[in-house]
Structure 1
Amino acid sequence: MKYKRLGETELSAPPIIFGGNVFGWTVNEKDSFKLLDQLFDMGINMIDTADSYSHWAPRNKGGESETIIGKWMKERGNRDKMVIATKVGSNPGKDGRDISKDYILKAAEDSLRRLQTDHIDLYFTHWDDDKTPVEETLDAYKVLMDQSKVRYIGSSNISNERLEASLEASKNKNLPKYEVSQPEYSLMERDKFEGKLQEICHKNNLGVTSYFSLASGFLTGKYSTEEDIEGRDREKFLQEYFNEKGKEVLQALKDVSDRHNISQAAVALRWIMQRPGITAPIASATKPEHLKSFEEAINTELSQKEMEHLNEVSS
């Protein structure tokens, strides 16, 4: 398996990063351990989570995903072989967004406790609160990095303007630099990365780990109509994709997947893996058999013609 360097860090990412948002939400602890064991055996040793995961589930408050990952690493004794990315600032949901220094310092301690580790490999600003000075946020990370509690930092869901201001502050004020960007990116959502953000990442040598790579499961082909998603956990994420573009993308995925005899999910992931500027996509699964699509994506190469066709129907 080929690993890619994340930006200018000393961290390496597997071809696909596993999204830990499902742990404690659509996957219970016992089944999460099974998934983590299989991923580890496959060589997928990077997990992306957040302090707010998985607050969507009834009775959850957030932090459940980190807790499960921490227990698994403790039981397996493999923390030194894992790359753990988590996030701060969501708290959870829009009303609680906070990236002030005091909040980050406390939240980091909570994440370290749940993860049962003494350091976070990659710590993301999850959401911007649009009010905290970028220097204050970066100074919080500097404190954590000076204490060896955080190795590197990244940004997700902050505006291009605030990202550029942060990178400028890093250069001029001896503050840590965001090394990785985590945008939403898939065949159904290209504008949030392509263009300005992609230029910023290229100019500043940022690694890029995309989330919602399968458009919340839409690109797997599992859901054909809006009726298929009624009452499901992901309904609110999927509703907007049932349009003409969605139909064309699913048909193109089916054509390519049939040609290679692999799943549509594998084609969707492979498309991202072959796109310029991407280090690795983040993807989730809820059952061990779903991980077959990861293996298919890793072991498949799409032709230039196939890439161009997928680009055309998704533009």
Structure 2
Amino acid sequence: MKLVTTSLAALVVASGAAQACEITLRSSDTHPEGYPTVVAVEAMGEMLEERSDGRICVEVFHSAQLGEEKDTIEQTQLGVIDLNRVSLGPFNNIIEETKVFSLPYIFRSTDHMHAVVDGEVGADILAEFSNHDLVGLAYFDGGSRSFYNSKKPITSVADIEGLKFRVMQSDVFVDMVDALGGNATPLPYGEVYSSIQTGVIDGAENNWPSFESSGHYEVAGYYTLDQHLIVPEVLVMSKTKMESLSAEDQALIRQAAKDAVPVMRDLWAKREKASEEKVRAAGVEIVDDIDKTPFIDAMDVVYEKHVTSDKLKDLVTRIRAVE
């Protein structure tokens, strides 16, 4: 209740700037101002404002101002938050079908991921959000996630043995680290820096922009590009809020979200390159010629445990068949 009250207070503060709009959609993001996902939702808001003749605006609360992702998902389901850009990982324990996008090495490349989420499989999984008081609007890029730590360079599966890694609050991610011999520790994103710094954990796993923008590279000097996950992120809307709007406004929102995707992808590609350059210049030791085969082989137990229903097995088959 305290978190919801705090979030409501934060929403009220910003409401003055959007008073000219008939409808102000309040959007949450855990990433900082200027991050590609944040800018993309801001661009969506600009499109909406223009296409609605100033009736619909979007107010973006970046830097986890409204809470960490797990909490903001609940607030969006309750209708306290209107829009929410969230990693798919925290949805894995809520919406079964999202698990397939979080399976290690399910995507062969970023291009393969784009082809999947832009096609029928992506649409089918977005549709599942409606069963959980949410509306799935669009997929954003989350980059390739790789391991980083403060202890040593990881050049093989054996090097992960015994290391404590922060993971998102997802059973799939926990089991992935366990399968590699590490110790998985679910933690909120905002606690990772201090936890590495104080030795509570040895490291975490994430993409170039998150590794850089969070400052984690300052406390974790070893980054191994095993690229075990290419997990898309998702923009969702409160189902209650969506259904309160006219059919015309709903269509405007859906189209603006779709049109924000290429904006985000372009920003993401540029940000990835800039973040990599900054991290390398800071002296972080990068392992980029690793043999992924042993890592992929170790994931058999993860698939056996989590891909159990016929629906999930079918989704995995369909994803692998996409060219």
Is the pair's TM-score, using the shorter chain for normalization, greater than 0.5? no
Using the size of structure 2 for normalisation, the TM-score is: 0.27
* Structure with larger RCO (C-alpha < 8 A, sep 6+): 2
Using the size of structure 1 for normalisation, the TM-score is: 0.27
Greater share of residues in helix: 2
